Amino acid sequence: MTRAFVFPGQGAQTIGMGKALAEAYPAAKAVFDEVDEALGESLSGLIWDGEQDDLTLTQNAQPALMATSLAAMRALEAEGVGIQAAAYVAGHSLGEYSALAAAGALSIADAARLLRTRGLAMQQAVPVGIGAMAALLGLDFATADKIARQAAKDTQQVCQAANDNDPAQVVISGHADAIKHAVELAREAGAKRAVMLPVSAPFHCALMEPAAAVMAEALEKVDIKEPAVPLVANVLAHDVSQPSTVRSLLVDQVTGSVRWRESVAWMAGKGVTEFWEIGAGKALSGMIRRIDKTATTRAVGTPDEVKAAVESLAASADN
């Protein structure tokens, strides 16, 4: 059975995530310690005992989710399952940094600092209230993309398809007025639901260009190695390994679409039948099953889930 390790993005954060991993596995606790040291603050204290509103702030949620994913990865490694158990890694938006750190392309400290910079830059790129995002449910990507383009034309503002999540879920991003107009167009086009999202900035669209410039500068100062297994990149929806390519794609990703549906379909086309969601939540697993109804998914974010994953791997090896 061929598998991929996938890493969640923003929205999966919850108070207490990763705490049981840190208590059960010294290697998982070491990840949180390393992130705290890299950021010069107790992010782990916020993750485990803070307020959800504070954790949800972009500059906190991004490194926090990476830390939780890497803690789960270290727990797997402590049980004898390394990154080589996967044929590919992929991450949804910020999860791409988690995937790269898990595959040894980025250090955990560098990933934490980059994600803090990324979160702040994305938040500061657009004044609060100017931008917005919305989820269009029940429309395929081609229809949603057409609606976004029409709304941009009608309003003379930015409106782009930001996340192609699965066959019936597309997130659009841009100026608030354009997004509201697109929501109306989507409802007229027969969307099951078209709803504004409670986000603090319009991610993955042209309005994020100031953040992309910040990330280009930050990434130039960081050592990126070839990942131990190929990364399926958000903006390309296929595999990359060359460090210089990875670096440029991480910049492109700030303003580019997250092509998740295509990424999962590409991996399935390469023979991946099992996807392990490493870290917090199960949102990616739901998307994956809607993209490929034959795929097996497994959440790996608690000690019990780690042990179950390891046992499943041993069982498949015996068969």
Residues 253, 156, single domain; the answer is no
Is it the case that residue 238 has pLDDT exceeding 90? yes
Whether residue 54 is predicted with pLDDT greater than 90 in this model: the reply is yes
Mean pLDDT within 6-23: 96
∠ CA(68), CA(72), CA(76), 5° rounding? 165
- The token duo for 231 is 């990364």
pLDDT tens track for 96-138: 999 999 999 999 999 999 999 999 999 999 998 899 999 999 9
- Mean pLDDT of the region 221-247: 98
Q: What is the mean pLDDT of residues 23-32?
A: 98
Give the separation between CA 251 and CA 194, rounded to whole angstroms. Answer: 29
Told to judge if 93 belongs to the known catalytic residues of this protein, a careful annotator would answer yes
Question: Distance (Å, rounded) from C-alpha 178 to C-alpha 103?
Answer: 39
Average pLDDT over residues 131-154: 97
**112 and 245, same domain (yes or no):** yes
The residues, ordered by sequence, that sit 6+ positions from 165 with a Cβ below 8 Å of its Cβ are: 171, 258, 260, 261, 287
**Is pLDDT above 80 for 258?**
yes
Asked whether residue 92 falls in the same domain as residue 211, the answer is yes
Backbone angles phi, psi at 260, to 5 degrees: -70, -45
pLDDT at residue 287 in the model: 97
Residue 316: is its pLDDT beyond 80?
no
Contact 65, 279 (CB under 8 A): yes
> Are 167 and 289 members of one domain?
no
Range of the domain at 174: 131-199
> How confident is the model over 75-101, as pLDDT tens digits?
999 999 999 999 999 999 999 999 999
Please compute the mean of the pLDDT values over residues 25-35 and round it to a whole number.
98
Q: 276-308 burial, b if ≥16 CB within 10 A, otherwise e? A: bbbbbbebbbebbbbbbeebbbbbbbbbebbee
Residue 178 has pLDDT above 80, yes or no: yes
- The residue out of 142, 177, 199 marking a domain boundary is 199
Q: Residue 168: give its domain's CATH number.
A: 3.30.70.250
pLDDT confidence bin for 318, thresholds 50/70/90: low
The CATH number of the domain where 260 resides is what?
A: 3.40.366.10
Could you give the 3-state DSSP secondary structure of residue 132?
Answer: strand
Which one of 93, 98, 173, 257 is the catalytic residue? 93
Considering the domain architecture, whether residues 232 and 295 belong to the same structural domain is answered as yes
What does DSSP assign to residue 79? T
The b/e string for 252-268 (b: 16+ C-beta within 10 A; e otherwise) is: bbbbbbbbbbbbbbbbb
Q: Which of 211, 150, 197 is nearest to 178 (CA)?
A: 150
**What pLDDT sits at residue 319?**
58
140 with 224, same domain: the answer is: no
Instruction: Give me the percent of the chain exceeding a pLDDT of 70.
Output: 99
Across the chain, mean pLDDT equals 96
Do 270 and 190 share a structural domain?
no
Within this chain, do residues 176 and 282 fall inside the same structural domain, yes or no?
no
Positive or negative, the CA dihedral 302, 306, 309, 315 is negative
Domain boundary among 148, 166, 199: 199
One domain for residues 235 and 107: yes
φ, ψ (nearest 5 deg) of residue 257: -75, 145
Domain count, the chain: 2
- In tens, the pLDDT along 270-311 reads 999 999 999 999 999 999 999 999 999 999 999 999 999 999
**Averaged pLDDT, 60-75:** 97
Q: For residues 216 and 252, give the distance between their C-alpha atoms in angstroms, rounded to a whole number.
A: 9
Residues 107 and 237 in one domain: yes
- In this structure, the answer to whether residues 119 and 223 fall within a common structural domain is yes
Instruction: Kindly name the residue from 173, 204, 263, 285 that is annotated as catalytic.
Output: 204
Is 92 catalytic? The answer is no
Do 263 and 311 sit in the same domain of this protein?
Answer: yes
| Domain C-terminal end among 165, 199, 233 | 199
Separation in Å, CA 222 to CA 101, 113, 255: 12, 10, 20
Instruction: Assess whether pLDDT exceeds 70 at residue 230.
Output: yes
Average pLDDT rounded to a whole number, residues 170-174:
98
